[in-house]
Amino acid sequence: MRTADGTNLHALQDYLGLHLSRDGLEPLNRQLYRHLRGAILSGLLARGSALPASRSLCDAMNLGRNTVLHAYGQLEAEGYVVSRAGAGTYVSDALPDPPPVGTEESQAAPSPLPLSKRAQSLLKGIQQRGSPETPTFAPGMPDTSTFPWALWLRLQQRHQRSAQGTDLGYLSNGGHPALKAALATYLRLSRGVNCEAEQILITSSMQQAFHLVALATADAGDTVWMEEPGYPGARFAWQAAGLRIEPVATDAEGLRWHGSEPDPRLIYVTPSHQYPLGCVMSLARRHALLQEAAERDAWLVEDDYDSEFRHDGRPLAAMQGLDRQGRVIYLGTLSKVLFPALRMGYLVAPPDLVEPLRILQARLMREGSYIEQATLADFIEDGHFGAHLRRMRGIYAKRQSKLREALAAHLGDWLADSESPRPDQIALLGGAAGMHLTLRLPAGLDDRLFSQQLGDMGMLAPALSGYCLRPPPFPGLVLGYGGADDATLMLAAVRLARFLAEVLRRHNIDGRQ
């Protein structure tokens, strides 16, 4: 193509004939501009060479005059071509040299840049879990089929219709005041949280709350104590914020530190229902931990992720309610009680921390929609929240006991009666609250391999190892029973139990020691 107008025309005719599409999706002048630019950048049209006269190109390509003039004009405006009065249009000399080979369409292979080290490390942790399509047993997945969606939409439409300009703008109150007030009352009454509405911040997720808390209270390199095993979502957030994670073991009473651990800036716990093992932190341990936090100048992050679904008596009051030092940051989610796509959670901060958190959220993350927040405030105040919660508590409790029955029926002697099985037995841990059980496996079984095999069968039951930074206390599987309906869950439970029995037999574990 490196010749003057006339001979240049033919090559260009071929090139454009290949690339211009007349399907009407993209205007022809735009296509022409794009492909001429491509030809210039790739060197097909050499620096300084002439473009065909617009009239010649029109005839050759059967294009309208304006189409060509428009494309040429755009190329000129952007500096790709220069037009010399009376002498035609030329490819600019001032452009950088084209890449050695290839055209726009067959690009030179780019030299890929590596991901950051932190992203590589995060992705390694995340990908350990795998994620088959069917979410049977996926922990943390609530049943969304039972949500009173029509009622919700009716409440929402009221707020949608009356929405004004400011409701659609940038928001920075830390959440809709009506929702904060409704949540404060709920948390005081149901969870023993000691708070005013002003201490509440509505977040778009638990993850956002982790990120916000990490930024506001800890610097990169600071230490966070995490329960071991513990919640991977929290671990990812602390890692992403550059914190050093100190895994601290748990026993039947909750977090069990030794005193020799490095001073923490944050202590992250799930006292109502340890995730994933399911024990409830004792009152004595709660007081001791508050004392430890005070002595070590640490903030306590209390993640109360699923305590609404208490199946076993009245819930213990939140640690936050015992706090005398203003050290506890209480986190809750609405994804489990309502539905995950709502994208709403909340935190209760000590008074001094509220304003910094609110500003950081508004400027670094932005707030969510107040229309949905006002809807939720109504949903709570009109009693629908409480009703839905009670209904789901019943559904999940029943589903858990069905899961236990199905596993027991197929696992017989292998299944221990208590949470302290013999070495040749398995046990079901937790279940006093929430939507998951943890299946403890006999020592020596590889839970990652087992989880992967279940994954191949379409079941997402993560290995307990994935919840640990050190070797796990025992191999196990975390079994969510929230997300699948009863029939699907029972079917999966039978498949899981049969497969487990086969594995145990293969390992000569007979459960009747």
List binders of a copy of itself among 281-300 (CB under 8 A): 282-284, 287-288, 291, 294, 297-299
Candidate ranges 11-19, 353-361, 431-439, 496-504; the one touching a copy of itself (CB under 8 A):
353-361
Q: Does 487 bind a copy of itself (CB under 8 A)?
A: no
Binders of a copy of itself in range 172-191 (CB under 8 A)? 172, 185, 188-189
Q: What is the C-alpha radius of gyration for the chain, rounded to an integer number of angstroms?
A: 31
Question: Of the two residues 31 and 451, which places its CB atom closer to a copy of itself in the complex?
Answer: 31
Binders of a copy of itself in range 368-407 (CB under 8 A)? 368-371
Q: Does 192 bind a copy of itself (CB under 8 A)?
A: yes
Tokens coding 289: 């931990």
Nearest to 406 by CA among 346, 499, 292, 489: 489
Q: What are phi and psi of 439, to 5 degrees?
A: -95, 115
Q: Does 69 bind a copy of itself (CB under 8 A)?
A: no
Q: Does 167 bind a copy of itself (CB under 8 A)?
A: yes
Q: 345-357 as b/e, with b when 16 or more CB fall inside 10 Å?
A: bbbbbbeebbeeb
Binders of a copy of itself in range 302-321 (CB under 8 A)? 313-314, 316-317
Question: Of the two residues 105 and 502, which places its CB atom closer to a copy of itself in the complex?
Answer: 105
**Cα 383 versus chain centre, distance:** 29
Contact residue for a copy of itself among 23, 62, 85, 352 (CB under 8 A): 352
Residue 362 CB partners (closer than 8 Å, separation 6+): 170, 171, 172, 174
Q: Does 342 bind a copy of itself (CB under 8 A)?
A: yes
Q: Does 37 bind a copy of itself (CB under 8 A)?
A: yes
Residue 7 CB partners (closer than 8 Å, separation 6+): none
> The tokens 């496996």 sit on which residue?
441
Tokens coding 450: 């087992």
Nearest to 245 by CA among 217, 214, 268, 224: 224
Question: Of the two residues 371 and 380, which places its CB atom closer to a copy of itself in the complex?
Answer: 371
Contact residue for a copy of itself among 58, 69, 197, 322 (CB under 8 A): 322
Candidate ranges 25-33, 390-398, 400-408, 446-454; the one touching a copy of itself (CB under 8 A):
25-33
Q: Does 359 bind a copy of itself (CB under 8 A)?
A: yes
Question: Of the two residues 188 and 404, which places its CB atom closer to a copy of itself in the complex?
Answer: 188
Q: Does 366 bind a copy of itself (CB under 8 A)?
A: yes
Binders of a copy of itself in range 226-245 (CB under 8 A)? 233, 236-237, 240, 242
Tokens coding 10: 């033919």
Nearest to 376 by CA among 158, 224, 189, 222: 158
Q: Are 453 and 424 in contact (CB under 8 A)?
A: no
Question: Of the two residues 126 and 449, which places its CB atom closer to a copy of itself in the complex?
Answer: 126
Q: Are 192 and 231 in contact (CB under 8 A)?
A: no
Q: Is 237 strand, coil or helix? A: helix
What kind and span of H or E run contains 480?
strand 476-480
Q: Is 146 strand, coil or helix? A: coil
**Cα 493 versus chain centre, distance:** 27
Q: Please, is 203 exposed, middle or buried when counting C-beta atoms within 10 Å of its C-beta (0-12, 13-18, 19+)?
A: buried
- From the CB of 364, what's the least distance to a copy of itself, in Å? 6
Question: Of the two residues 265 and 440, which places its CB atom closer to a copy of itself in the complex?
Answer: 265
- From the CB of 483, what's the least distance to a copy of itself, in Å? 7
Contact residue for a copy of itself among 176, 180, 211, 273 (CB under 8 A): 211
Q: Does 123 bind a copy of itself (CB under 8 A)?
A: yes
Task: Give the number of residues in contact with a copy of itself, rule: CB under 8 A.
Answer: 114
Q: Which amino acid is at 439?
A: L
Q: Per-residue DSSP letters for 362-394?
A: HHHT----HHHHHHHHHHHHTTHHHHHHHHHHH
Q: Does 197 bind a copy of itself (CB under 8 A)?
A: no
Count of residues making up the chain: 513
- From the CB of 498, what's the least distance to a copy of itself, in Å? 27
- From the CB of 415, what's the least distance to a copy of itself, in Å? 29
Question: Of the two residues 34 and 402, which places its CB atom closer to a copy of itself in the complex?
Answer: 34
Binders of a copy of itself in range 91-120 (CB under 8 A)? 94-96, 99, 107-108, 110-113, 115-119
Contact residue for a copy of itself among 79, 262, 386, 394 (CB under 8 A): 79
